[in-house]
Amino acid sequence: MYTLIDGKKTAAEIRQEIRREVEDLRKEGKKVPHLAAVLVGHDGASETYVAAKERACHEVGFDSTVLRLDEDITQEELLDHVQRINEDPAIDGLIVQLPLPQHLDEQKVIETIRPEKDVDGFHPVNVGRMTIGLPAFISATPAGILELLRRYRVETSGRHCVVIGRSNIVGKPMSILLARKDEPGNCTVTLCHSRTRDLASFTRQADIIIAALGKPRFLTGGMVGEGVTVIDVGITRLPSDKTRSGWKLVGDVDFDSVAPKSSFITPVPGGVGPMTIVSLLRNTLLAARKEIYP
C-alpha cells in the first residue's frame, strides 16, 4: 500500500510555521518580510498566480506589493522598475512573474534582480551557489520537493533517482540537489529527457522518480519498479465530460497504474503544486532575516 504525499496539507502546516515566526518578529519589534511581485500585461494564468501569492503573503503576515505594468512596456522601462525595487530597503524579495511578453528579454530581467532579493532562485549567482553547495535561494518547486521528501522521511541516501526533464526551473536543479552531500540528497542521479533512448529502462531501475517532462500521464505502471517513490511535477489541463468545469488537471504520471507499485507518490492536483508558493514565502523570510546573504 502506497503513502500519498499530501502537498496541500504540508503546505498548510508550513504556512502556519511561517506565520508564527512572523508573529515572533513583530513581538521583537523586528522588520516583517516584504515580497514584491512585478506583473507585466494581463495574462490570465499570471494574474491567478500573483493573486495566490498575495493571499499567501496576507495569510502569513507578510507585507506584499504588486506592481502591474502595461504589456507594451519597453525593456529599459521594466529594468528601471526592477532597479528601483532593488534599491528599496523595505522590500526583501522580488519576483518578476513569467512568462513576459515576447519583446522583453526574460534572462536580462532575471539578471537585473539582485541575488539577495532573488527569492525565485533564478539568478545565475543563486544557481551557481546552489551548484557548488553554497547557501543560495533555491527555486520554489525544487525546494518544495525537497521539503516533501524531508517531511515524509523518504530515504534518499544511496538511492537511484531518475529525473525526467531538464528544464532550468525543475529538472536540472533537482538533479543537482539530490546528488549533493545533504539530506535529502546523496542520490545517484540519472537525468533523462525527451531525447533519451529507451527511457523506461532507466525508470524501471529507479528508487525515486521526479517526473517533470510536461507530458500528461507519460509515466505508466509498466515503466516503474515495485516500491518506487514518485514525485509528479507535471500539470496539464485536459477536457473532461465528468467535471462541472469541463476540464480536469492531470500530471505527468498515470496515477492509477503507477500508485499500486509505489511506496510514496504525489497526487495531481494537491501534491507538488501547493509547495511552490510556500517555498517562495520561506525564501522571502530567509531574505528578510539575511540568512543567505548576511
Task: Read off the pLDDT of residues 6-45 as tens digits, 9 standing for 90 and up.
Answer: 999 999 999 999 999 999 999 999 999 999 999 999 888 8
Distance CA 282, CA 232 (A): 22
Question: Quick one: pLDDT at residue 156?
Answer: 98
Among residues 6, 92, 97, 252, the one annotated as catalytic is 97
Rg (CA), the chain: 19
Q: Quick check: 156 and 187 in contact, CB under 8 A?
A: yes
Largest CA distance in the chain: 58
Q: Which of these CATH numbers, 3.90.470.20, 3.40.1160.10, 1.10.760.10, 3.40.50.720, describes 140-273?
A: 3.40.50.720
Q: Is 53 a catalytic residue?
A: yes
Among residues 118, 120, 207, 232, the one annotated as catalytic is 120
Is 29-114 assigned to CATH 3.40.50.10860?
Answer: yes
Question: 10 Å Cβ neighbour count for 87?
Answer: 9
All cell numbers assigned to 78 = 521594466
| Closest listed residue to residue 165, CA positions, set 133, 190, 135 | 190
* Edge-first strand listing for the sheet containing 63-69: 63-69, 34-40, 93-96
Question: Quick one: pLDDT at residue 44?
Answer: 87
Q: Is 215 a catalytic residue?
A: no
Among residues 6, 53, 118, 254, the one annotated as catalytic is 53
Question: Quick one: pLDDT at residue 186?
Answer: 98
Question: Quick one: pLDDT at residue 244?
Answer: 84
Question: Quick one: pLDDT at residue 245?
Answer: 84
Residues in the chain: 294
CATH 3.40.50.720 range(s) for the chain read: 140-273
- Bridge partners of residue 37, in order along the sequence: 66, 95
* Cα four-point dihedral sign 211, 213, 214, 219: negative
Distance CA 121, CA 110 (A): 10
Look up the pTM and report it.
Answer: 0.95
CATH 3.40.50.10860 range(s) for the chain read: 29-114
The helix/strand/coil state of 262 is strand
Using the CB atoms, write b or e for 178-217: b if 16+ within 10 Å: bbbeeebbbbebbbbeeebeebeebbeebbbbbbbbbebb
Q: Is 30 a catalytic residue?
A: no
Ranges of residues in the chain whose predicted pLDDT is under 70:
none
All cell numbers assigned to 254 = 498515470
Question: Quick one: pLDDT at residue 241?
Answer: 84
Give CA 268 to chain center in angstroms: 15
Q: Distances in Å between the alpha carbon of 65 and those of 33, 39, 216?
A: 11, 11, 35
Containing 161, the helix (H) or strand (E) segment is: strand 160-164
Question: Quick one: pLDDT at residue 149?
Answer: 98
Q: Are strands 247-250 and 262-265 parallel, antiparallel or unpaired?
A: unpaired
Containing 10, the helix (H) or strand (E) segment is: helix 7-27
Q: Write the Ramachandran bin of 91: left for phi over 0, alpha for psi from -120 to 50, otherwise beta.
A: beta
Distance CA 77, CA 69 (A): 10
Question: Quick one: pLDDT at residue 56?
Answer: 96
